[in-house]
Structures are given as structure tokens and as C-alpha cells.
Amino acid sequence: MKRAFLFPGQGTQVIGMGKDIYENYEEAREIYDRASKISGIDIKKICFEGPEEVLNQTQYTQIAILTTSLAILEVLKNNDINAEIAVGLSLGEYVALIYAGIISFEDGIRLIQKRGYYMDTLVPDEKYSMAAVIGLDSSKIEKVCKELSEQGKFVVPANYNCQVQTVISGKLDAIDEAIEKLKMAGAKRVIKLNTSGPFHTSKLKEAKDAYAKELEKVSFNQINEIKVIKNIDGTYYQEKDNVKEILANHIISPVRFDKAIQLMENDKVEEYVEIGPGKTLTGFIKKDNKEANIVNINNLESLKNYISQER
């Protein structure tokens, strides 16, 4: 059976994530402990106890979700459950790259720690917001954003999640104006998100430039038999790709998860397994492909059930 592993991004975090798995699997404990030692951050405490205002800080959110996903993944690997394809949303791409062996565990932890820090701190001192636009074609969303941008109001598509959902990002007043225009253009719903950073836009150029220097310190391994999908264009990584350049540009470029979904469907994926907090990515897949066979592994019960089914 052709299986894809999916790894969630920021916004899925919840206090207590991974705690029951940590308490029941030695290999999961080792992942949390190794990640904490490398980063110098008490990741267990942040994941299991919070407080929420700390867990929701980008510099901690990213490494917390990454570590939780890696801990669950380690248990699956130890039970000989693997996938031919791996894809993540934004920071989730790093879990996919670690799984495929393109980035080492140690380098992955260090990189995501720096990435989260720069995305949290190297942001223009202005008020930003993001909003999910549901039920409107992305070309119409792009048109509204372009019209507002031509008036000097910063708002752009940031996440193309699936055919029926696109997230826009921009200055707070521009987002508010875009929401009204998008509703008038036929959007079924527009939901303002609980984020304050203009993620995946040109406003993070300073963060991207600082992060590019961190990427230069890291050696990447060759592409192997596990296929990893790039967020930046929804295609598989190839040998010719400049991984450092792609990951740096990833910070300022829209996420094309919609194209990743289409690629997996075209590649005849038979089972989609989301590994980590939440059910966001399988939700996107179900919107585009109602017949998709999806699995969510985000707690001890779902992990044990899946392992028992695969035996």
C-alpha cells in the first residue's frame, strides 16, 4: 500500500500534546530528551504544561510541534511502519526532511530553533493578521489582494491549503478590508486567525536573510527513496535542487499544500497518515478528495490503534 506521512505546522499546538505518548514509549522519551539537550529548551515542559502564552510564541511553537511529531514518528518506525512519501505544512516540512534523512536530527532541531526565533523576532514593528478564506477560488482571492496592494495596502495569499481554502496574510487594516471584499466576491466564510506575524510573505525578508546564514552551516544529504514534497511549489525534491535556497525562500513564499495534495492523488497514494497535533492536513485532503483514506495519530489511543491494525 502506498502511504504518505503528513506533518502539521504552526497553529495545531495544544498544551499536553505528546504527554501520553512520552509516558508510554521509551523511544518517544529519547526524542524529547535529545531535542531538549540540543536546543537547551525544556521542550517537555512547554508541550506538556505550557503556559499557553509560551507555547504560542513562534520560537517555542515550532520546536514543540516538530519534537512531538518526531516522537510519534519514532514509535511508528520502531514498529516497521513507514511511508514512501512525506510532506509537511511549513515547519512540518522539516519533519519530512528528517524522516527522509536529508537533514540529520541534530541539524533539524538546531535549524527549526533558529527559524522559529527569527520568524518571531525579525518582523517589522507593525500590526499584522491572517485570515482563512473558504469556498472561493484562489484566482479570485489573488485578484482582491492585487487590487488592495495596488492601493498601497499590504495583503497577499500566504497558504494555499486546498482547492476550497486559502489563507491571506497582511497588515491588520488591509486584512479587515480584504475580508469584506472577499465576502462580497462570494467567499462562503472568512475566518481571522489567531496569529500576529506576516508568515510566508515578503515582510519576513530580514528573517529569511538571517536564516539563510544558518542554513549555510549545515550539510544536507542526498535525496533517497523517500519522496519529500516541497511547500514552495508542491513538487518532489530533486537531486538538482538547492535545498538551502529553497528552505530560506520558504519563509517568504506562499505554501502550496494544494499542489502537494494533487501530486499525491496523481501518484496514487492509498493512505494518508497525519502525525502530530491536530487534524488539519487530513482535513484539507478530505475537502479535495472525499474518498481519501485518512488516519490521524495525535495521542496514545490513536497511535496504539494504528499500530495494532498494521500488525
51 Cβ neighbours under 8 A, 6+ residues apart: 15
The catalytic position among 90, 138, 169, 253 is 90
- Say whether 250 is catalytic: no
The catalytic position among 39, 200, 250, 253 is 200
- Say whether 253 is catalytic: no
The cell numbers describing 227, all together, are 519522496
Place of cell 497518515: 273
Q: What phi and psi values does residue 295 have, to the nearest 5 degrees?
A: -135, 140
- DSSP collapsed to 3 states, the chain: CCEEEEECCCCCCCCCCCHHHHHHCHHHHHHHHHHHHHHCCCHHHHHHHCCHHHHCCHHHHHHHHHHHHHHHHHHHHHCCCCCCEEEECCCHHHHHHHHCCCCCHHHHHHHHHHHHHHHHHCCCCCCEEEEEEECCCHHHHHHHHHHHHHCCCCEEEEEEEECCEEEEEEEHHHHHHHHHHHHHCCCCEEEEECCCCCCCCHHHHHHHHHHHHHHCCCCCCCCCCCEEECCCCCCECCCCCCHHHHHHHHCCCCEEHHHHHHHHHHCCCCEEEEECCCCHHHHHHHHHCCCCCEEEECCHHHHHHHHHHHC
Q: Exposure string (b/e) for 98-120, b if CB count within 10 Å is 16 or more?
A: bbbbbbbbebbbbbbbbbbbbbb
The residues annotated with a catalytic role in the active site are: 90, 200
